[in-house]
Amino acid sequence: MTRAAALLLMTGLLTGLACAAPAQAKTRTQTTVTMSGDVVVKALIADLAYFYRHAVRNAPQFALSGGNTSTGIADTERGISDAGLVSRVKLPDDPPDLVLTPVAESGICLITNLDNPLSNITRAEIQDMVAARVTNWSQIAGSKRTDAIVPVGREPFTGPARCSSRCSWTSPPSWRGRG
């Protein structure tokens, strides 16, 4: 992400007090912006805040704390945080005054263990793994392993799951997130 894009994103984030905030957010003078919630979103916002603070004169401090999406939403609704760090779309049972402002989308990256180097895995092989047509590493060309592929899914409303569902899979993922 370019510095200009990061600054623009951070400005937009600060203008609306960001990712998840009540529609009728309290107006107050502050020198610290507090945010809590999803740890992956926290890492992104921490980087953006760093560049923002170095580019903008008299920029506020940022107090970021982790947890998960539910923590961010609850903290924001109770006024503990100025903004929640959320990694999903708004759900029907979320507070009605909740406003989500997207700042990024998740990406998906397939990684394998160093003991299972796969330098030429194909999109078709990945599609077969996602659709559970391939269930053992021995079915993947170049794999030295012979054990079962252990799928790790995400709940359907998370960023990675939404991104995956928009990919050109020939069939939907066969596994779902764990509890």
For 88-142, the pLDDT digits (tens) are 888 899 999 999 988 887 766 777 778 888 878 888 888 788 778 899 999 998 8
Mean pLDDT of all residues in the chain? 76
What's the pLDDT at 128?
A: 84
Which residues on neighbouring strands pair with residue 32, listed in sequence order? 61
Q: How many CB atoms lie within 10 A of CB 85?
A: 32
Contacts from 127-130 at CB under 8 Å and sequence distance 24+?
127/169, 127/170, 127/171, 130/164, 130/169, 130/171, 130/173, 130/174
Beta strands, E only, 12-134? 20-22, 32-37, 61-65, 83-85, 98-100
What's the pLDDT at 35?
A: 96
Q: How many CB atoms lie within 10 A of CB 105?
A: 10
The encoded tokens of residue 36 equal: 């809590």
Query: How far apart are the C-alpha atoms of 53 and 162, rounded to whole Å?
Result: 32
Q: Which domains does the chain have, with CATH numbers?
A: 3-100 (3.40.190.10), 105-179 (no CATH)
Answer yes or no: is pLDDT of 68 > 60: yes
Does residue 119 or residue 18 have the better pLDDT?
A: 119
Query: How far apart are the C-alpha atoms of 26 and 81, rounded to whole Å?
Result: 11
Residues 35/45, Cβ–Cβ less than 8 Å: yes
Closest C-alpha among 65, 12, 63 to residue 38: 65
Query: How far apart are the C-alpha atoms of 17 and 19, rounded to whole Å?
Result: 7
